[in-house]
């Protein structure tokens, strides 16, 4: 099998989890990082080759993966790479379960124990984090993050760059606007039409 090389942008906790997935896949002959902490020379036994600004010199030789948790920063970096014809990886942990007719956009990570049921469409640069679940026919626009242990029932639509916090739940047939933050443990029971931060059970917009 022809094995390629993977360069992960970001060597923080999220980047290291991404490196773990890549290692499990046995698809890459080399894994390396770029990170803006110039004091960091390696992570998880993989070298840090430089800062993210140096990425252009690696575009030919590596597949790339943007492992930055902040949705807007990840979006900016990934779209910038795309415009320079970078090859972007999509990474799915072997223990994740994907139903039939599920599609994943490039630059998306599906972490250990996640479940994505049939007919769901996940956009580019999304994170489906540890043990999160999307039931059937969800649509996630680009750069959405579903945090660990969050659960979306069937036919939920999540707008671009929305972040669903750890352990949050969304009942079926709802639409959530883009650019929202849904707090840890929140339960969303009605459509969210306005960008903002929503917390609690049932989830309400936090005025600040
Ligand atoms: C919702 C959230 C984004 C708000 O962050 P923030 O703007 O920094 O908010 P603060 O911590 O300043 O809290 C502001 C107020 O909201 C309340 N609050 C914050 N998060 C809350 C939550 N999840 N549920 C209920 N209330 C919450 C705080 O208690 C505080 O209330 P007060 O003003 O009465 O004291 C954040 O608290 C959260 O839940 N993040 C999810 C983290 C996560 O999922 N991480 C996984 C990473 S993989």
Give per-residue pLDDT as tens, 158-208: 999 999 999 999 999 999 999 999 999 999 999 999 999 999 999 999 986
Ligand 1: atom nearest CA of 168 is: 44
Task: Give the end-to-end CA distance of the chain in Å, rounded to a whole number.
Answer: 54
Cα 84 to averaged position of ligand 1 atoms, centre (Å): 37
Determine whether the shortest distance from the Cβ of 154 to ligand 1 is under 6 A: no
Whole-number average pLDDT of the chain: 97
pLDDT band at 84 (very low <50, low <70, confident <90, very high): very high
Partners of 98 in beta bridges? 116
If one looks up domain 90-196 in CATH, what number appears?
2.160.10.10
> 170 near 188, Cβ under 8 Å?
yes
Atom 12, ligand 1: which residue's CA is nearest?
A: 208
Determine whether the shortest distance from the Cβ of 105 to ligand 1 is under 6 A: no
Atom 26, ligand 1: which residue's CA is nearest?
A: 199
Atom 11, ligand 1: which residue's CA is nearest?
A: 183
Determine whether 202 is exposed, middle or buried from the number of CB atoms within 10 Å of its CB (0-12, 13-18, 19+): exposed
pTM of the model: 0.97
Cα 22 to averaged position of ligand 1 atoms, centre (Å): 31
If one looks up domain 4-89 in CATH, what number appears?
3.40.50.20
The neighbour count for residue 190, using CB atoms within 10 Å, is 11
Residue 61: both structure tokens together? 């030789």
Ligand 1: atom nearest CA of 185 is: 23
Ligand 1: atom nearest CA of 165 is: 44
Is 136 an active-site residue?
Answer: yes
Spell out the residues 6+ positions from residue 182 whose beta carbon is closer than 8 angstroms to its own. 162, 163, 164, 165, 168, 170, 176, 188, 192, 198, 199, 203
For residue 129, is pLDDT > 60?
A: yes
Backbone angles phi, psi at 66, to 5 degrees: -90, 110
CA angle centred on 143, ends 179 and 36, rounded to 5°: 105
Determine whether the shortest distance from the Cβ of 165 to ligand 1 is under 6 A: yes
Partners of 138 in beta bridges? none
Question: What does the DSSP 8-state code read for residue 58?
Answer: G
For residue 156, is pLDDT > 90?
A: yes
Domain spans, the chain: 4-89, 90-196
Determine whether the shortest distance from the Cβ of 166 to ligand 1 is under 6 A: yes
Position 160 scores a pLDDT of 98
Position 207 scores a pLDDT of 82
For residue 3, is pLDDT > 90?
A: no
Atom 33, ligand 1: which residue's CA is nearest?
A: 208
Rounded mean pLDDT, 143-163: 99
Find the helix or strand (DSSP H, E) in which 80 lies: helix 71-83
Q: Name the residue among 91, 72, 43 with its Cα closest to residue 144.
A: 72
């Amino acid at each position: 099998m022809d094995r390629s090389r993977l360069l992960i942008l970001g060597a923080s906790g999220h980047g290291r989890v991404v490196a773990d997935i890549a290692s499990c896949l046995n698809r890459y002959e080399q894994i390396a990082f770029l990170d803006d902490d110039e004091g960091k020379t390696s992570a998880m036994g993989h070298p840090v080759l430089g800062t993210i600004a140096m990425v252009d010199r690696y575009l030919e030789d590596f597949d790339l993966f943007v492992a930055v948790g902040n949705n807007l920063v990840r979006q900016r970096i990934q779209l910038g790479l795309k415009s320079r014809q970078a090859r972007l990886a999509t990474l799915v942990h072997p223990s994740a379960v994907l139903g039939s007719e599920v599609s994943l956009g490039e630059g998306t990570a599906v972490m250990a124990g996640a479940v994505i049921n049939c007919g769901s469409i996940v956009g580019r640069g999304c994170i489906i984090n540890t043990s999160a679940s999307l039931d059937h026919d969800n649509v996630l626009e680009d750069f959405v993050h579903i945090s660990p242990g969050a659960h979306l029932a069937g036919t939920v639509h999540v707008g671009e760059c929305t972040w669903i916090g750890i352990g949050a739940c969304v009942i079926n047939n709802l639409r959530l606007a883009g650019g929202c933050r849904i707090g840890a443990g929140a339960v969303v029971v009605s459509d969210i039409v306005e960008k903002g931060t929503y917390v609690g059970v049932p989830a309400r917009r936090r005025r600040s």
